[in-house]
Amino acid sequence: MRCGKSWLILACAAVLAGCGLSGAAHGPPDSRAAAVVDMGFTSFTPATVTIKAGQIVEWRNTSPITHSVSFNPAEASKPADAALPLGVAPFASGDIAAGDVFLHTFAAPGTYHYFCTHHEGLGMVGTIIVQ
C-alpha cells in the first residue's frame, strides 16, 4: 500500500512539473530586468509598469497555460489593445509555455500597449511606459 501512495505522489509531481509549476518563471528574476510582469491565468500583474529607455522587462508565465506578449496592432482584436510609439516596429514573443519567461529591451521612449494573443478577449492586456 505504501509503495502505491509513493508512486502516486511521484506521478502527480511529474505531471505538475510539466504544467509550468517549475521552470525559469518560478526562480529568481533575471538580474538585468528593471521590471517583472507575472502572467496569471488571464492577467498581467502588474498591468502597467514604468521603466527608462534601454531597460529590460521580464514576463514570467507562472500559470499552467500558454501565453504570449504581443505588441503587434495587426494581431489585436481591439485596436486599443496594441499601440506603439511612432517609429517602433511591431514585435511579439510567440508562445510562452507554462514556466517560461520572455525578456525584451525597450529602446524608444513612449507608451506601449500589449496583449496575450490567446486571452485578449478575456482582458489580458498590459501597458509599458518607457521614459
Q: Which three cell numbers stand for residue 26?
A: 518560478
Let me know: does 126 contact 114? Beta carbons within 8 Å: yes
Q: What is the bridge-based pairing of β-strands 110-115 and 125-130?
A: antiparallel
For the stretch 6-52, pLDDT in tens is: 554 444 444 444 455 678 888 999 999 999 999 999 999 999 999 99
Quick one: pLDDT at residue 5?
59
> In this structure, is the dihedral angle defined by the CA atoms of residues 56, 65, 62 and 16, taken in order, positive or negative?
negative
Residue 1 in this model has a pLDDT that exceeds 50: no
For the stretch 92-119, pLDDT in tens is: 999 999 999 999 999 999 999 999 999 9
The stretch 120-128 carries a mean pLDDT of 98
Residue 67 in this model has a pLDDT that exceeds 60: yes
Cis peptide before 46 (omega within 30 of 0): yes
Q: Which three cell numbers stand for residue 5?
A: 501512495
Quick one: pLDDT at residue 21?
63
- Spell out the residues 6+ positions from residue 18 whose beta carbon is closer than 8 angstroms to its own: none
For the stretch 78-92, pLDDT in tens is: 999 999 999 999 999
pTM given for the model = 0.84
Let me know: does 61 contact 101? Beta carbons within 8 Å: yes
Which residue type occupies 3?
C
Domains and CATH numbers, the chain: 2-130 (2.60.40.420)
Quick one: pLDDT at residue 24?
85
Q: Which three cell numbers stand for residue 4?
A: 502505491
